[in-house]
Structure 1
């Protein structure tokens, strides 16, 4: 929430934002626009937990098996996870964003 609020400058929030969707397999999808933010263009190591390295989220499952896929495509952070993994998706973005901000503040 703090990261989103920090981006709101009476312009960015009219074109960009954060989207949380549901998946039909079942699960969650998270898309965060990085355009015009300090995170745009920064390296993100993709996360594949509970799935093989895949281009898209897995299909099937009953929701009891945790899984997570996160990556940056162009200028968007994208993440997918099981129906109990929304918090993990948000935490994955938050950890990366806070780490990048900390590195910038420390000059590394």
Structure 2
């Protein structure tokens, strides 16, 4: 897991999902834009959960991850 700062300002989060129950699940890209410093983008790519957010949105971004991770995935068709 990596949490780093952005220079605009904000946060970036990368969490490796390889060899976890979440490895094969997709998180459909979400973009929430409320104000110049109140925003979140979250998605999965290459077996990694990614989020970028404004300076006050880190908890909200991690909550999106937790909610997705603890929700049962629909059965595959």
Superposed, which structure 2 residues align to 1:61-76 within 5 Å?
61=36, 63=37, 66-76=38-48
Quote the RMSD (CA, aligned, Å). 1.7
TM-score by length of structure 2 reads: 0.87
The 2-side partners of 1:22 and 1:79 are apart by 12
TM-score by length of structure 1 reads: 0.63
Aligned with 2:60: secondary structure? helix
Structure 2: segments with no counterpart, 5+ residues: none
The 2-side partners of 1:30 and 1:67 are apart by 14
Query: Of Structure 1 and Structure 2, which has the larger fraction of its residues in strand?
Result: 2
Give the match for residue 31 of structure 1: 14
Off by >3 Å, runs of 4+ in structure 1: none
Give the match for residue 27 of structure 2: 44
How many aligned positions are there? 74
Query: Of Structure 1 and Structure 2, which has the larger fraction of its residues in helix?
Result: 1
Structure 1: segments with no counterpart, 5+ residues: 1-17, 52-60
Aligned with 2:68: secondary structure? helix
